[in-house]
A and B are shown apart, each in its own frame.
Chain A
Amino acid sequence: MNTPLMPDEIRQTVLCLLGEIAPEADLTALKPGVNFRDQLDIDSMDFLNFVIMIHKAFGVEIPEADYPKYGTLNGCVEQLSDKRVT
């Protein structure tokens, strides 16, 4: 049974994962359309870990070529809304 995820659920989960990676950040001020790396102190290692967490949390395959699409909160919601949780 595949159920589409609600954008709010996705947003909540993504923010939760970001919080684990950058615990010092104030995520309430995060601008959804702007790249995380311009707003948070995260590097490529952090971003890689973020992608791995998304992969685990949502059960999605993310090819390296798609990494840039997961660079913003809106991007994540857009990408993950298309997927189905299996």
Chain B
Amino acid sequence: MAKITYREAVRAGLREALQNNPRVFLMGEDVGKYGGTYACSKGLLDEFGPERIRDTPLSESTFVGAGIGAALGGMRPIVEVMTVNFSLLALDQIVNNAATIRHMSGGQFSIPLIVRMATGAGRQVAAQHSHSLEGWYAHIPGITVLAPATVTDARGMLLAALQEPDPVFIFEHAYLYPLEGELDESGLPVDLTLAAIRRAGTDISLITFGGSLWKALEAADQLAHEGISAEVVDLRILRPLDISTVLTSVRKTHRAVVIDEGWRTGSFAAEVSAQIMEGAFYDLDGPVGRVCSVEVPIPYPKHLEDAALPQPEKILQAVHSLMGR
């Protein structure tokens, strides 16, 4: 296994996609000459040329709409949106077109579109760049919502997304780009129907996704020192949600804490919690706990930003309170 950064893993996935399928192209703000805001597409312009690596104007509605059109026309576009905050400008295209055309056309047209975007906080880039709205996207039927948290998933989920006939939205937590991990070089696309158990345990299930996975794993390490065996479930596919993996885990541990960087009210954690209640109520030994972001625009100062986000200590607190310790 080779160690590479998450950013390099995304780039590797893009390169493979571009190499393997001539209909794949990448477009977005600064993806070409600048190499991508997060340097994910660095070098790709030189390698694949301006026809396939296209810089776009600062108009999310336009270039996401163009991507939908290209997909309708038989292409395999990969659209990069700089951050989830900016993707809101394209919501009309996403919700009213991308997600509905298969349904509205009676199955005659499909939109094999991939939209990638950065999400999440933790880098002191303030409230207009730091939000975690993937939970909103998971609300929309007609699209697939992915949240790769490991380098293997960053690459493998992109490749799997290229097999999908309908729009796929990939949320890359910006905090993860520089982090290194070991890449599973089997080269297999990730199965987009299964959540992943990142750490097996017996006493409590920590259920999370994206950037919070690493905080959950850190908390699980701490808990192990206290003699509490935590199982860490990486949801990684928010829609369609693999609830059966979650329920299997909760039926084993009887306790669950959901960690989600989104704001607490109406969060994706709320959905997971509700589904646990529906599917495993009689296996629960306590209420489902949630660790979410504080309900404020994500602050700029580091101490306030840290305080606003889920942290390993908050996860420990939630676990302790659930276990009566």
Q: Do chains A and B touch in the complex (CB under 8 A)?
A: no
- On B, residues with C-beta under 8 Å from A are none
Using a CB–CB cutoff of 8 Å, the interface residues on chain A facing chain B are none
